[in-house]
């Protein structure tokens, strides 16, 4: 590509985004300026512009990747193995439970729905690809807290408010930690009307070839159809679905 067509500040913005992606805790304007060798005014203008488009977010004095990039990333991930492999498993899970099934990935401090197979019921609880939910009150979020983030819970909730979605939402870090213990013990996370009243969700972890949890698969249902007596049967089906995707992922690398 000819150099004359490259826009220097746009190229710098791309480099700033790549730099921030390598910084788990974000970086300040001074750090970006120093590490990238760019003028401070240029860095300030780039970050301010990116923030206006939600491509970066400011927490305290540090910038990190923003929600718009998460959604763009979701589109870019459509062709990855995990979604291709998981789709027929989602369809099978929905056929077995008659409830909406979904695939989710961790997106910084939220869980992000990547794919959905809707329930065939005329009236059902719905999810949609691209939807984001807090970790502490969603079934897939609880999976990520337990299997990926459990060592960082105190750090995470120093900077994030424990949002109260319903009267059943946990209120303290202690309750979140108790939920992590329960998730690890049972092998699945459950949202019992904690995100939305009248809706019950259950999810299990998906692992890669190295045994790392990289996604979660689950079901979303009305409490009228997903009654508590079904939890043992549904948890078995969801864990089997997660294991099936994990096994296929391991064989695909």
- Shared-domain flag, residues 33 and 106: no
- Shared-domain flag, residues 127 and 40: no
Extended beta strands in 130-193, E state: 132-134, 189-192
- Shared-domain flag, residues 119 and 175: yes
For position 76, which CATH number holds? Answer: 3.30.450.40
- Shared-domain flag, residues 196 and 135: yes
Enclosing domain of residue 36: 3-65
What is the reported pLDDT for 78? Answer: 44
For position 15, which CATH number holds? Answer: 1.10.10.10
- Shared-domain flag, residues 25 and 138: no
Q: How far is CA 219 from CA 13, 86, 118, 159, in A?
A: 39, 13, 10, 29
- Shared-domain flag, residues 193 and 125: yes
Rounded Cα–Cα distance for residues 112 and 131 (Å): 6
One pLDDT digit (tens) per residue for the chain, 253 residues: 467 778 888 999 999 998 998 887 889 999 999 999 999 999 999 999 999 998 999 989 999 988 788 767 655 554 457 888 999 999 999 999 999 999 999 988 899 999 999 998 876 666 778 888 999 999 999 999 999 999 999 999 988 889 999 999 999 999 999 999 999 999 999 999 999 999 999 999 999 878 889 999 999 999 999 999 999 999 999 999 999 999 988 765 4
What is the reported pLDDT for 128? Answer: 79
Q: How far is CA 8 from CA 12, 52, 130, 137, in A?
A: 6, 20, 32, 43
What is the reported pLDDT for 80? Answer: 59
> Among 144, 164, 49, 158, which Cα is nearest to 58's?
49
- Shared-domain flag, residues 90 and 37: no
Number of domains in the chain: 2
pTM: 0.69
- Shared-domain flag, residues 170 and 226: yes
What is the reported pLDDT for 2? Answer: 60
- Shared-domain flag, residues 95 and 185: yes
- Shared-domain flag, residues 18 and 84: no
- Shared-domain flag, residues 38 and 135: no
């Amino acid at each position: 590509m000819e150099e004359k067509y490259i826009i220097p500040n746009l190229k710098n913005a791309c480099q700033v985004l790549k730099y921030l992606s390598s910084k788990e805790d974000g970086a300040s304007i001074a750090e970006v300026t120093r590490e990238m060798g760019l003028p401070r005014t240029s860095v300030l203008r780039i970050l301010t512009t990116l923030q206006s488009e939600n491509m970066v977010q400011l927490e305290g004095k540090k910038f990190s990747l923003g929600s718009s990039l998460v959604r763009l990333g979701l589109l870019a991930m459509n062709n990855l193995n995990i979604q291709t492999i998981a789709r027929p498993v989602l369809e099978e899970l929905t056929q077995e439970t008659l409830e909406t099934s979904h695939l989710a990935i961790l997106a910084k401090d939220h869980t992000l729905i990547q794919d959905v197979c809707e329930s065939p019921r005329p009236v059902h609880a719905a999810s949609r690809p691209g939807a984001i939910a807090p970790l502490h009150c969603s079934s897939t979020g609880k999976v990520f807290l337990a299997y990926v983030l459990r060592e960082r819970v105190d750090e995470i909730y120093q900077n994030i408010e424990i949002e109260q979605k319903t009267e059943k939402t946990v209120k303290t870090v202690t309750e979140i930690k108790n939920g992590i213990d329960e998730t690890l013990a049972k092998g699945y996370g459950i949202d019992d009307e904690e995100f939305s009243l009248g809706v019950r969700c259950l999810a299990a972890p998906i692992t890669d070839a190295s045994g790392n949890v990289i996604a979660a698969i689950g079901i979303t249902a009305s409490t009228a159809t997903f009654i508590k007596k079904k939890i043992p049967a549904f948890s078995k089906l969801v864990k089997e679905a997660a294991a099936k995707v994990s096994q296929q992922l391991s064989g695909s690398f």
